[in-house]
Amino acid sequence: MLELNILRVAMQPRSAENKQRVLQDAMRLISDKPDSELRIADIYERTGLSSSVIYSYFRSRDGLIDAAYIELSKEMSKATELNLAAIFNPSKKPDDVSELFALLSADPKFQQEWQQNRAIRLRIAARAMSSSRFMHKYKPIAKGHLEKLEQQIEFLQSKNFVNRKFSPEQAAHVFEGFLMALTVKEGISGEADYLSWFSTMSELFGNK
């Protein structure tokens, strides 16, 4: 019995490593194509791990997809927070902000990254709307992300980057909504929302 327990403990790091490999590969796959096209066989081919081992980590294909989207949403939230901090930092004058946005929009690398993130955002949103199980897991992440944005915006208000007529909570929702409006901009139904959010954002970051 002692030998068996020692063996189990020794196998735990390896098991955690393999689980992370499976998760990372699933994240890469659903970043490139819809999750409906994800096959457990794809993960098997990429990792060399059997389907029984993969299912022992995530129980089902849906469980793996949920876990991959949760990790992607965490990464995207962190990236948004870092980008917000980089764009609006105390060394820049408020007048520089619109110029910086224009430069980013003309940057091919930024455009490529945005297109990829756009697809992931849409897939996460679709997953949240279609699966109450996923929504239950996603809500704490979304809430934590908004709370961090509120803290950043409160700091930006103190530096006169953000209009004080908005509360930090309102501004965080406007900013996140604007990103989603950008995400759906190419869709016909999204154009009106995009223009509406753009107008609100212009007012939000106006120093009046």
CB atoms within 10 A of CB 54: 23
171 lies in the same domain as 72: yes
125 lies in the same domain as 189: yes
Q: Are 163 and 156 in contact (CB under 8 A)?
A: no
48 lies in the same domain as 73: no
Q: What is the pTM of this model?
A: 0.72
112 lies in the same domain as 48: no
Q: Are 16 and 8 in contact (CB under 8 A)?
A: no
Which of these, 167, 103, 176, lies nearest to 146 by C-alpha position? 176
- Model pLDDT for residues 106-165, shown as the tens digit of each residue: 666 666 666 677 778 888 888 888 889 999 999 999 999 999 989 988 888 887 777 788
Q: Across residues 180-187, what is the average pLDDT? A: 64
170 lies in the same domain as 137: yes
The CATH number linked to 34 is 1.10.10
| H helical segments located in the chain | 2-32, 40-47, 51-58, 61-87, 96-105, 108-130, 132-158, 168-183, 191-204
Q: Which residue segment(s) compose the domain that 41 sits in?
A: 1-59
Q: Which residue has the higher pLDDT, 14 or 101?
A: 14
Q: Which of 17, 33, 59 is the last residue of a domain?
A: 59
161 lies in the same domain as 182: yes
49 lies in the same domain as 87: no
Q: Which of 39, 59, 79 is the last residue of a domain?
A: 59
User: What phi-psi label fits residue 189: left (phi over 0), alpha (psi between -120 and 50 degrees) or beta?
Assistant: alpha
Q: Give, rounded to a whole angstrom, the gap between the first and last alpha carbons of the chain.
A: 72
Which of these, 100, 42, 75, 76, lies nearest to 183 by C-alpha position? 76
30 lies in the same domain as 101: no
Q: What is the pLDDT of residue 192?
A: 60
| 3-state SS class at 33 | coil
Q: Which of 37, 59, 81 is the last residue of a domain?
A: 59
pLDDT at 63 over 60: yes
